[in-house]
Chains A and B, each alone.
Chain A
């Protein structure tokens, strides 16, 4: 028996400004694995992430720190850094084509704990003109109980498609 436990799957079936995954983090697990597939956008853009707290509110305070290495198959790698931002702004770099839709696996640590910061690691891949991946890490520097998250686009365009699956890592 593996210790990866399926919690939830959400598929965005039609275009929307954001996609929220709610009530997936609980006292049952400390660490979560989340996969993103078929992330197709209305415009070439960065997919951004915000957390949702136990009161159901999107956390938009300036308390997100993050760092991302941008692994471009056709050019020098870039770096993205943010301190006291209102979101984690470089989750996946994705495309308008269904075939080229971005993918990622993200791990979150201690989201539900009201006495700990929430930390995340993500590794993504997608296509701009050529292949374009990322390796990122981020932290919500706010000790609050997080129960979900929301993704949306940096430039305000719609998400056309995305499938998000959330798993807990059991300790038994």
Chain B
């Protein structure tokens, strides 16, 4: 076995370099014996676009994924940061999404919900100030199940701290193979990383 050891050195029959080759590392990672259980699928940074698409999400490998939003903001004014799914390569824009979010800021708590939206809201009333948070996705690639998400974000709006949490569903048993983040009005700036939660 060409790997390093701690403690007593075994009386091995082969030369041990003590160094993992790229092939060694990949082989061990593939069987869950090296590395963690989050795999970066794609990271995007952006500064002048209204839409960010993730269209190679490796859905056949993961039934749970997580996206991390890093300092995402609308550039120039007040707008929501929203999300839609691609179903077999076609962006679903019909009023079929359902979501329920709780929000809070220093003076008020409130609710925002829909059973027939053409988008999934993840950070409402964003106002040119940074949004950070995470979104879990479930069953995206499964043609016999609805696609769910849960979300928790924080941001500033007009100098006030906001939080949002909740989730939603695309209530259609379909293969979701892409995710779009977008703003209707303003360019988005920041970064989003999509990870698969490995099953080994």
A binds B: yes
Query: What would 25 A/B residue contacts be, using CB atoms closer than 8 Å?
Result: A1-B36, A2-B35, A2-B195, A5-B36, A5-B37, A6-B37, A35-B197, A38-B145, A71-B101, A71-B111, A71-B166, A72-B113, A73-B99, A73-B113, A77-B100, A77-B111, A100-B145, A103-B139, A103-B150, A123-B150, A123-B165, A131-B98, A131-B99, A133-B150, A165-B64
Tell yes or no: A124 within 8 A of B by CB.
yes
Given A1-B34, A2-B38, A105-B136, 19 more contacts at CB 8 Å? A1-B36, A3-B36, A4-B36, A5-B36, A6-B198, A6-B199, A37-B139, A38-B145, A71-B102, A71-B166, A73-B99, A73-B100, A73-B115, A105-B64, A124-B150, A125-B138, A125-B167, A131-B98, A165-B197
Contact residues of A: prevailing secondary structure: strand
Q: Are B167 and A131 in contact (CB under 8 A)?
A: yes
> Of all chain A residues, which has the CB nearest B138?
A103
**Chain B residues within 8 Å of A126, by CB:** 148
CA distance A112 to B99 in the complex (A): 36
* Interface 1/0 per residue, A128-153 and B, CB below 8 Å: 00111101000000000000000000
CA distance A132 to B113 in the complex (A): 11
Tell yes or no: B124 within 8 A of A by CB.
no
**Chain A residues within 8 Å of B32, by CB:** 6
**Chain A residues within 8 Å of B115, by CB:** 73-74, 130-131
B contacts, CB < 8 Å to A: 32, 34-39, 63-64, 98-102, 111, 113-115, 136, 138-139, 144-146, 148-150, 152, 165-169, 171, 173, 195, 197-200
CA distance A77 to B101 in the complex (A): 10
